[in-house]
Amino acid sequence: MLLPLLAAFQLASTLPPPASPSRSTYHGRQNQLVVPVASASADARASIDGRLDEPAWSTASLLTGFSAYQPVDQRPADDSTEVLVWYSPTAIHFGIRAFETHGQVRATLAERDRIAADDNVEIHLDTYVERRRAFVFIVNPLGVQADGTKNEAGGFIPGANVFPGQTDLSSDFIWESKGRVTEWGYEVEIRIPFSSLRYPAAREQQWGIQIDRRVQHSGYEQTWTPARRGAASFIAQAGRLTGLAGLRHGQIVELNPEVTNTVTGTPCCAPTQRDWSYDASPQLGGNVRWGMGSNFILNGTIKPDFSQVEADAAQIAADQRFALFYAEKRPFFVEGAEQFNVPNTLVYTRRIVQPDAAVKFTGKIARTDIALLSAVDDRQTTSDGTRPLVDIVRLRRDFGAQSTAGFVYSERVSGARENRVAGLDTRMVFGGMYFAQFQAVASNSREGGVTRTGPLWDAVVDRTGRNFGFHYSIIGVHPDFRADNGFVPRTGYVQPSVANRLTLFGARGSLFERYTVFFQSSAIFRYHDFFSARSLLEDKFSPRNEITFRGGWTFAVTPTIASYAFDPGAYAAVRAGTVAAPVAFVPSDRITTLTSSMSLSTPQFRRFSASVGANMGNDVDFNETSRVRRFDYNAALDLRPTERLRINATYVTTSFTRRSDDVRTLSTRIPRVKLEYQVARPVFLRIIAQYTADEREAMRNPRTGQPLLVATNAGFQPSAARTINSLRADWLFSYRPTPGTVFFAGYGSSLAEPDPLAFDRLRRTGDSFFLKASYLLRTSGRIAP
């Protein structure tokens, strides 16, 4: 009899305490979605230790009754989750109890914003009740943080490399969290100061709230409100926090001085490599951030450090007609990036290369978002050595329940060139699952005494249904349209496109969980040909098939048929004939291609996850307009051998083989390995090694087989073969106790060798040492009423 009693006592000691009789409970599946938040007195305290045992938690409001959202919605969640919430005059507190009876809790001691592979819980706060934008606070079972914003207002967000509806993790807010794994799951305690949020200047607040839990062993996503995948908006399906009164935000001023030093080495006497020269570039700069009450933020920077702590992962430019896009990573620009969000990426802050000074103002007046940015860029970005002045204005007005109308003005002005862009856009949400988006923009550019103007226009209609959806769009970009502060990789075309989606769901507990097919078709016309009803330049059709299996396995296969004609005007820098007598290059006639791609991804296992993909078939080499056999391959492996160690390995390759003579004209292989060791929550070590093996044969005329000529400073010369075999290795030590207070120390080395991936005759071609130290000083001024 004694043993059963001891076992019962031990079990009871590991369970969370029962709900207090005085606690108010709000059950999501019972549509109890309006939550009067429990308040505590000004002297209430809660130690952030991962244990919900302080008196304030006993009367906190309780959110429970979660529903499944991914991969299948409209079902009760398999796992039980409880979220407690209360507030004091200076902060809002959340306590999470996530029960786990089906598998092991996945948790690691990770760097900030690197917890996507762990079990985690997201708290979404729509403080303006806009129903299209929310602050997002994410914690894993150990309390490691990720944070950012979710924006559904339309347009690609270049600061974060995310699309509408995805969470932008580039912002770093100041808040506290700590968690622990228990016998029944995990428990996390969170404190979010009101000074880290933006909200209306009103005596009593109402905020939208959603809780989103991700369970890694099953691959499931669960929400507090019964959110539907077929709705046009995820944020609009949130619940509501009410009764928030007497909040103290204050006038917050943050000073962030920083000092950096980069020492770069270059070989003096290549190829012997005996003597090297090193140049040091010390720099003192800093940032200031003024939180002007709860509604506005003014940022300024002088001589900012925009060094990349982590180098951009290399990309393969198989179609070299277009520039590659790299996401913004610089702290001054990524904060508030969603307020500069414009359809078609007309604001791309990486065009501001190295400003001496910049200032940014963001805020909201009533239902109007205001975002202003001004910077003086480096004189090396202009041909005449003058410093370009950059100004960007973005205004966006809410109307209706979720619709917006926006205005953008952008200019980049120097002595050598002037570019100005102005435009309007609107996004209208209606019927619960439909939205329409329209944009009209014009640019004016002056260079060398010549002025050019041109429009950009865009229209989208979308239906986001559970089983059936569509996305119809058309965009036109005039040949003379330019956006010097944006990312517009192609001009002089009109592209209509049609996409229809059909989704089928499996029965609960079955092997098959979801099947989706996208029927996508698009065409590209030269801009003036479209209005003259002339033949199209390119067309493409592909049915993309995606299958999700129980446990989180995913498989996709996409056959694509396309045809391409070639605009002779795009090959003005290419000639046929000889150096002595070059003649105009005549591209190939229309080419029809057929390729197939497929991919397979594993679930997030406790110690690893992986994915592979391939693309193969008959394609086209746009450099010389020839028919080629194409083969692409990619693979990724994420290993987590211990709670502190992460290893990420990727490999991408592409190759073209000319069909007329079986010569491999292009071969690119890029293996990359990143190793991170988290010493403690604020301290980590990182090593990145990336090898680029790139070979390109000289271009040949597909009609005659003769070498092609390309434009150079010495006139038209035969195109030359290209070979690059380079290895880049970077080491970094990072100490970052809070956002803004950091110490980085790093070393990077570049090496080259004659043969690809041989690793036997590597020689060092350059290296650099990097140090950065910054400290965040945060003061609170007069308390706002």
- What are the pLDDT digits (tens) for 437-471? 999 999 999 998 899 999 999 999 999 989 999 99
DSSP 320: T
- Nearest Cα to 432, choosing from 571, 226, 232, 193? 232
Q: Write b or e for each residue in 281-293: b if 16 or more Cβ atoms lie within 10 A of its Cβ, otherwise e.
A: eeeebbbbbbbbb
pLDDT band at 159 (very low <50, low <70, confident <90, very high): very low
Q: At 30, is the secondary structure helix, strand, or coil? A: helix
pLDDT band at 11 (very low <50, low <70, confident <90, very high): very low
The tokens of 49 are what? 């230790």
Which pLDDT does position 313 carry in this prediction? 46
Burial class (CB in 10 A: 0-12, 13-18, 19+), 74: middle
Q: How many other CB atoms sit within 10 Å of the CB of residue 141?
A: 26
Q: At 351, is the secondary structure helix, strand, or coil? A: helix
Cα distances (angstroms) measured from residue 541 to each of 544, 598, 747: 10, 16, 47
Beta bridge partner(s), residue 494:
476, 525
- Those residues whose C-beta lies under 8 Å from the C-beta of residue 70, and which sit 6 or more positions away, are 219, 220, 221, 229
DSSP 37: P
Beta bridge partner(s), residue 515:
504, 547
Q: At 69, is the secondary structure helix, strand, or coil? A: strand
For the four alpha carbons of 29, 30, 36 and 37, in that order, the dihedral sign comes to negative
Cα distances (angstroms) measured from residue 671 to each of 652, 679, 694, 732: 7, 26, 12, 20
Residue with tokens 């226009």: 457
Residue with the larger pLDDT of the pair 24 and 23: 24
Q: How large is the greatest C-alpha to C-alpha distance in the chain, in angstroms?
A: 104
Q: Is residue 206 part of a domain?
A: yes
Q: What is the pLDDT of residues 62-117, one digit of tens each?
A: 999 999 999 999 899 988 999 999 999 999 999 999 999 888 899 999 888 989 99
pLDDT band at 158 (very low <50, low <70, confident <90, very high): very low
Residue 314 has pLDDT above 60, yes or no: no
Give the number of C-alpha atoms closer than 13 A to the C-alpha of residue 751, restricted to the C-beta side.
Answer: 20
Cα distances (angstroms) measured from residue 532 to each of 481, 525, 527, 529, 540: 19, 10, 9, 5, 21
pLDDT band at 17 (very low <50, low <70, confident <90, very high): low
Beta bridge partner(s), residue 358:
301, 375
User: Residue 161 sits in which domain range?
Assistant: 16-245
| Cis peptide preceding 702, ω within 30 of 0 | no
For the segment 748-776, the average pLDDT, to the nearest whole number, is 90
- Those residues whose C-beta lies under 8 Å from the C-beta of residue 135, and which sit 6 or more positions away, are 124, 125, 126, 127, 147, 149, 173, 197, 198
Q: At 178, is the secondary structure helix, strand, or coil? A: strand
Nearest-angstrom CA–CA distance, 566 and 562:
13
Q: Is residue 80 part of a domain?
A: yes
For the segment 352-381, the average pLDDT, to the nearest whole number, is 90
Residue 625 has pLDDT above 60, yes or no: yes
Residue 6 has pLDDT above 80, yes or no: no
- Nearest Cα to 346, choosing from 462, 424, 461? 424
- Nearest Cα to 207, choosing from 174, 235, 179, 180? 235
- Nearest Cα to 365, choosing from 293, 438, 287, 281? 293
How far from the centroid of its chain's Cα atoms is residue 91's Cα?
A: 29
Residue with tokens 């706060």: 125
- Those residues whose C-beta lies under 8 Å from the C-beta of residue 546, and which sit 6 or more positions away, are 514, 515, 516, 517, 518, 554, 555, 556
For the segment 638-644, the average pLDDT, to the nearest whole number, is 93
Containing 674, the helix (H) or strand (E) segment is strand 664-680
- Those residues whose C-beta lies under 8 Å from the C-beta of residue 572, and which sit 6 or more positions away, are none
β pairing state of 608-621 and 741-752 = unpaired
Contact 416, 353 (CB under 8 A): no
Q: Is residue 424 part of a domain?
A: no
- Residue 374 has phi, psi (to 5 degrees) of -140, 135
Contact 113, 80 (CB under 8 A): no
Beta bridge partner(s), residue 768:
264, 748
Q: What is the pLDDT of residues 339-350, one digit of tens each?
A: 898 999 899 888
Sequence letter at residue 209: I
β pairing state of 239-245 and 34-36 = parallel
The tokens of 127 are what? 């403080």
- Those residues whose C-beta lies under 8 Å from the C-beta of residue 21, and which sit 6 or more positions away, are none
Q: Is residue 497 part of a domain?
A: no
User: Structure pTM?
Assistant: 0.85
Q: Kindly report the CATH number assigned to the domain that includes residue 114.
A: 2.60.40.1190
Q: What is the pLDDT of residues 375-428, one digit of tens each?
A: 999 888 887 888 999 999 999 999 988 899 999 999 999 988 999 999 999 999
The tokens of 303 are what? 């001589």
DSSP string, 400-442: TTTEEEEEEEEEEE-SSEEEEEEEEEEEEEETTTEEEEEEEEE
pLDDT band at 154 (very low <50, low <70, confident <90, very high): low
Domains of the chain: total: 1
Q: Is residue 27 part of a domain?
A: yes
Q: Is residue 472 part of a domain?
A: no
Kindly state the percentage of the chain with pLDDT values over 70: 90
Nearest-angstrom CA–CA distance, 620 and 36:
61
For the segment 535-558, the average pLDDT, to the nearest whole number, is 94
Which segments of 303-386 are extended strands (E)? Answer: 357-365, 368-376
Q: Is residue 634 part of a domain?
A: no
Residue 206 has pLDDT above 90, yes or no: yes
Nearest-angstrom CA–CA distance, 361 and 356:
18
Question: How many helices, marked H, and strands, marked E, lie in the chain?
Answer: 3, 46
Give me the chain's average pLDDT, please: 88
Q: What is the pLDDT of residues 491-505, one digit of tens each?
A: 999 999 999 999 999
- Nearest Cα to 496, choosing from 443, 533, 459? 459
- Nearest Cα to 362, choosing from 293, 295, 288, 408? 295
Which pLDDT does position 4 carry in this prediction? 46
Pick from 254-268, 407-421, 586-600: least confident: 254-268
Q: Is residue 785 part of a domain?
A: no
